[in-house]
Amino acid sequence: MKAAALSLGTVVLPLALLAQGLDPTLLAKPPVDAWPTHHGDYSGRRFSTLKEINAANVKNLTLAWIYRLNPSSGGAVIAGEGPESPPAGANPNAFGGLSIKSTPLLVNGVLYFTAPDHVWAVDARTGRELWHFFWRTKGGIHIGNRGVGMYGDWLYFLTPDNYFVSLEAATGKERWHKEIASVKREYFSTAAPVIVRNHVILGVGGDSLDVPGYLESRDPETGEVQWRWYTTPRAGEPAAETWPDEYSSAHGGGMPWLPGTYDPDLKLYYFGTGNPNPVLAGQSRGGDNLWTCSIVAVNVDTGKMAWYYQATPHDTHDWDAAQVPILIDGVVDGKPRKLIAQANRNGYFFLLDRTNGKHLLTAPMVGSLNWNKGINAKGQPTWDPAKDASVSGTLVWPTTDGVTNWPPPSFSPDTGLFYVGTHEAASVFYLTDTDPRPQGWGAAERRVGTFASSLKAIDYKTGKVRWSRPLATTAGGAAGGPMGLLSTAGGLLFGNDGAGNFVAYDAATGKPLWRAGLGTNTSNGPQTFLLDGKQYVVVGAGDSLFAFTLPQ
């Protein structure tokens, strides 16, 4: 496949090869008849140029099929290092049952998607299952899995017990698996691998114990490490002075747990790092704690950091910066600029120059933030020690969930709007570990409630909220909030309403134009593609995948 990958573009390949394999040139284009990588393309925009389904006809959108997750090991391709029955703690029911948090890839008419320990291949025309891969787990937190990456004829995914697994796309049979982190140290893996040429980029997760975070590039053929980048500095490295000592830095967390974005011209891979450890008790890690809670650019071939921007210096509320950093080719002050934007869990929208990380804009997304002492000269919200967890309790807006979270936002170049689901909630943070060297989380959180949730459209140039649509309200308060989004050239924005409706909004105004009551909120990023000349929109909601299209 390597040879085939190299020759693509100059040689017409036999049809049999193309029938399964992924043409790597697709990765660099806007997605049309494929959705070949987690975000559809490398930009992270989750914008489709398709407009067969548009604001004028979306009212006719109708169900094509439903695929309900089949988690049974019967008939599945089985692999894995774990026992026949899953160990304690590895039960997906702990998280409300199996839920599709992965964005399906669509390649040559086949959808590939995941849940923790599972991969499925489904016929995109009919919703029929083609194969199911079942991983016998050793344990790890089974909270979610973002999906697969694809290279040629091969799929790649990560397991809660931290195996990097390669499957044959045609059959679901395992090619090999490699352990990337120790489940006994409470690492768990959820990311969708991102393939850039012959690099498979993946990050680890898990902040229960104070273990170091890292991003890796691995070889798609052998699975071996090409480079590893630690998210906190070691002695002598720049930024080491933002920790009291090497020991605290080496135990400082910073998990890069979500798939990132990539600029092929700059050869830079962009991603967000997680929160520092100990998570809520910061007394042993005085300083900014670089490079946690940062947007980072690394050279994809060398793994060397090109620049970083820290969104939350010395975080003490679990607000990682792992959210999708979206690449925007925009115009600022009349000049074309290579930009990168992020709606951060800490409640702020950031806009940077992606060539060098230079800060351009910081704007609050909601009005209820109470955790910082204002914005400094670099555009960073500054640490307010008074809002750290305390023994008697500290009331903080937002909660550890943040104003937004992992569900992927969207950017439409047609409207110039950055779309993101938000919620406003408060928690009381109680310091429980008063030791000068706390460990783990070090504090408990008691939620007060959620008081507002909305779908927002942010003007990327100013950070101003152009429109904000309140989501559903229930007896317990505002419902929903962070949600996977997809914008299209048809003038549409697909998302949910917080109460189980999958909704097509007018991307310019936020007006709902169409909805389907799925019974539960959409749980992944919606995606779209053209197949046999027909546009499909595919979305996961809990344990089912739904495909919509216009009537014949």
Partner 1 sequence: MPIARSTCATILLLAALSLGAQRLPAPAAPPPAPPERPAPPVRQTERPEEPQFDEAAVQRGRELMVARCGFCHGSNARGGSSGPDLTRSAMVQEDENGKQLGEFLRVGRPEKNMPKFELTEQELTDLATFLHATIHSIGNRGTYQILDIVTGDPKAGAAFFTGAGRCSSCHSAEGDLKGVGARYEPAVLQGRVLLPREPPRWGPAGRGSPPWADRNAVKATVTLSSGESFTGALVRLTDFDVTIYDPATQQSRSWLRRDDVPKVVLMDPLQAHVDLLRKWTDPDMHNVTAYLVTLK
Name the residues annotated as catalytic: 318
Name the residue nearer to partner 1 (CB basis): 183 or 341.
183
State which of positions 96-115 bind partner 1 (CB under 8 A): 96-97
466 binds partner 1 (CB under 8 A): no
Judge contact between 4 and 16, C-beta under 8 A: no
Query: Residue 20 phi/psi, 5° resolution?
Result: -110, -40
By CB under 8 A, how many residues form the interface with partner 1?
A: 66
Residue where the block lists tokens 């047609």: 414
Report the residue from 391, 462, 464, 519 that binds partner 1 according to the rule CB under 8 A: 391
Judge contact between 148 and 156, C-beta under 8 A: yes
* Measured CA angle at 422 (ends 440, 345), to 5 deg: 35
Report the alpha-carbon distance of residue 544 to residue 523 in Å, rounded. Answer: 10
Report the alpha-carbon distance of residue 328 to residue 338 in Å, rounded. Answer: 6
Q: Hey, what's the torsion of the CAs at 353, 355, 356, 358, to 10 degrees?
A: -10
Q: How far is CA 405 from the centre of its chain?
A: 8
440 binds partner 1 (CB under 8 A): yes
Name the residue nearer to partner 1 (CB basis): 198 or 439.
439
Report the residue from 83, 302, 435, 462 that binds partner 1 according to the rule CB under 8 A: 435
Output the smallest distance, CB 110 to partner 1, in A.
30
Does the CA dihedral 2-26-103-319 come out positive or negative?
positive
Output the smallest distance, CB 251 to partner 1, in A.
6
Q: How far is CA 241 from the centre of its chain?
A: 30
Judge contact between 63 and 548, C-beta under 8 A: yes
Name the residue nearer to partner 1 (CB basis): 292 or 422.
422
DSSP letters for 467-480: EEEE--EETTEE--
162 binds partner 1 (CB under 8 A): no
Residue type, 94: A
Q: Write out the two tokens for 97.
A: 């049952």
Interface mask (CB under 8 A) for partner 1, residues 163-202, using x and -? -------------------x-xxx----------------
State which of positions 319-378 bind partner 1 (CB under 8 A): 368
Name the residue nearer to partner 1 (CB basis): 262 or 397.
397
Judge contact between 191 and 218, C-beta under 8 A: no
Interface mask (CB under 8 A) for partner 1, residues 490-529, using x and -? -------xxx-x-x--------x--x-x------------
State which of positions 125-154 bind partner 1 (CB under 8 A): 141, 143
Q: Which residues bind partner 1 (CB under 8 A)?
A: 88-89, 91, 94-97, 141, 143, 182, 184-186, 208-210, 251, 368, 386, 390-395, 397, 401, 423, 425-426, 428, 430-435, 437, 439-441, 443-444, 446-451, 472-477, 479, 481-482, 497-499, 501, 503, 512, 515, 517
